[in-house]
Structure 1
Amino acid sequence: MKKLTYILLTFVFLSCKTEKKEIFQEYNGEMIKVEFDDSKTDSTLTGYGGEYYPNGNLKSLSYIKNGEPTDSLFYYYENGKVKEKGLVENGFQTGWWIYYRKDGSIKEKFEWLTLRDSLYKNQSIYFDENGEIEYKNSSYFNLKIPDTIQIGKNIASFNYNSNIEVYKKLMYVVIENKYSENEIKLDTFGIKDNDLRFGVFGHKKGKQNIKGQIVEELYEIQKIGNDSASGTIRNHIKYFEKVVYVSDKNN
């Protein structure tokens, strides 16, 4: 998926309008004033800006710093209700974005990551019109890593909802464990019979960033004629990261 460069073009166009326009709008729980300064160029524009519908309602809104969208970005329906919202960082969507229907109900939630300078959809949760999760369409996980772990070996776990149906699949967790200042290992933990546990090593007292991957190894079979078939193997990966505190005292 592409970087959100088109957003900047929107703000440049509005900053060149001959008529100065301002509007008051709620932004992250506060009322702010959206104002355009014709004397500013795209590289120096700083403040709240966005695009408007012909009826005067906002179509998009973000905080612009030196011409770049930062912080939260909102898109709106023409009726004024939020269409989608989330954070932007270095021109990319990042973290959880929420998408709404025209009546204001939540339609879906996606978690976006930036991998190798491209957007990656890490998790997706879909909702029906009653606000219930559509599990067969959703792909997400819930980490169960304590905020405080002990020095040495620790047990963590997770819940997982998959929307992938294939001939056969295996699941495992890969953790980047640091055992000393000079020793970092990628430990792999196989998942069997819904025992969704893996090991985390506490290196030393203080804050520690835990990074890992949940991998579904997918085996797919495609029939060719009546008596033959071909198979493919691919990996579906979800990334996770959490900062914890490592204690040298037992609970």
Structure 2
Amino acid sequence: MKKIILLVIIFFFVSCKNENQEIIQYDKQGKMISKGYMNDDEESLDSILYFNDGMMNSKMVFSKENKLSFYTKFYNENGLESEGNTINKVKDGRWKYYDSKNRLRKTVEYKNICNEEFANQEFNYDEKGRLIAEKSTYYTHKFKDPKFELNKVNELTVNYVPFIKKGTTSLLVFSPEFDSSFCNINAVKKDSVSTTTHLTFKIDVSFGDKGKNNFRGYILEYYYKETSENVFTRREKKTFINIPVVVE
């Protein structure tokens, strides 16, 4: 095995028969800052380890296409700080965040909204792992009938825990024309409903196609803040909803 070390920030390769090819990066002082491993095809990455002062502080494991990766960050070699998936380097799905004692303290649901990373829901926990609702923002949903039939109305109930706890107004905005990444929310016809009680939305939905369908919408939470005398600015937050259903 031959090894070449360049004291500049540059990738180099170490190849060894029957082993994955390595890609190592050094800083100007000669300290290793990352080590990558290639797949057997030698065209895509299997994983990358990142180092700080000689200690591994994060790791990324890739799918074969290198579009999907699982990211893990450490306080040290034994203490997990956060973990979650990325798609094309954008956080996706639920990411978990831990304290220095390896206790889960926060979960954030990330969505790709029109090709941008978006923190959609947040769940915070106390030291015993109990949800702290007053420090969280999320929604739950339930259909009156778990079975879906073609063109048959089914009542959907959405309960919302708002980001701002007092003084806001919330609407559930929805459309059968919303695309999966919500890029067209300003271009299609929409309907909306206001809350009933305790930030609960109720809506009748039906589907005209058999098989896989989706109910898509977003909760629009907004309030007005006085910035100067008799001048108000509107602040708002969206929480996106994409519920898959199967129509028989």
Using structure 2 for the length normalisation, give the TM-score: 0.71
Change in CA separation of 1:16 and 1:200 when aligned onto 2, cut-off 3 Å: farther
Aligned to 1:10: none
The equivalent position to 2:214 in structure 1, one of 209, 217, 221, is 209
Change in CA separation of 1:72 and 1:49 when aligned onto 2, cut-off 3 Å: same
Answer yes or no: is the 8 Å Cα contact 2:79–2:102 preserved in 1. yes
Aligned to 2:183: none
Aligned to 1:37: 22
Aligned to 2:34: none
Aligned to 1:199: 204
The equivalent position to 2:59 in structure 1, one of 58, 61, 64, is 61
The 2-side partners of 1:69 and 1:206 are apart by 28
Answer yes or no: is the 8 Å Cα contact 1:53–1:78 preserved in 2. no
Q: Aligned residue pairs: how many?
A: 211
Q: Residue 76 of structure 2 aligns to a residue in which SS?
A: coil
How far has the Cα of 1:142 moved from its partner? 1.3
The 5 Å alignment of 1:1-251 reads: 16=12, 37-38=22-23, 44-54=43-53, 56=55, 58-64=56-62, 68=66, 70-145=68-143, 148-152=147-151, 153-166=153-166, 168-177=167-176, 186-194=190-198, 195-222=200-227, 224=228, 228-247=229-248
Residue deviations 1:141-175 (CA, integer Å, cap 9, x gap): 11224653232322101222123045x43222122
The 1-side partners of 2:73 and 2:146 are apart by 34
How far has the Cα of 1:38 moved from its partner? 4.4
The 2-side partners of 1:112 and 1:134 are apart by 19
How far has the Cα of 1:62 moved from its partner? 2.0
Q: Which amino acid aligns with 2:190?
A: L
Q: Which amino acid aligns with 1:75?
A: K
Answer yes or no: is the 8 Å Cα contact 1:68–1:91 preserved in 2. no
Residue deviations 1:66-119 (CA, integer Å, cap 9, x gap): 794623211112142221111110110101100011111012111111223321
Q: Could you say which structure has the higher strand fraction? A: 1
Gaps of 5+ in 1: 1-12, 21-32, 179-183
Q: Which amino acid aligns with 2:22?
A: D
Q: Which amino acid aligns with 1:47?
A: D
Change in CA separation of 1:38 and 1:213 when aligned onto 2, cut-off 3 Å: closer
Aligned to 1:4: none
Change in CA separation of 1:207 and 1:68 when aligned onto 2, cut-off 3 Å: closer
Answer yes or no: is the 8 Å Cα contact 2:193–2:201 preserved in 1. no
Q: Residue 49 of structure 2 aligns to a residue in which SS?
A: strand
Q: What is the aligned-residue identity percentage?
A: 18
How far has the Cα of 1:215 moved from its partner? 1.4
Choose between structure 1 and 2 for higher RCO, CA contacts under 8 A separated by at least 6 residues. 1
Q: Which amino acid aligns with 1:236?
A: K
How far has the Cα of 1:17 moved from its partner? 6.7
Aligned to 2:3: none
Answer yes or no: is the 8 Å Cα contact 1:151–1:202 preserved in 2. yes
Residue deviations 1:177-229 (CA, integer Å, cap 9, x gap): 37xxxxx852212213234212222112211122111111323345x4xxx54
Using structure 1 for the length normalisation, give the TM-score: 0.71
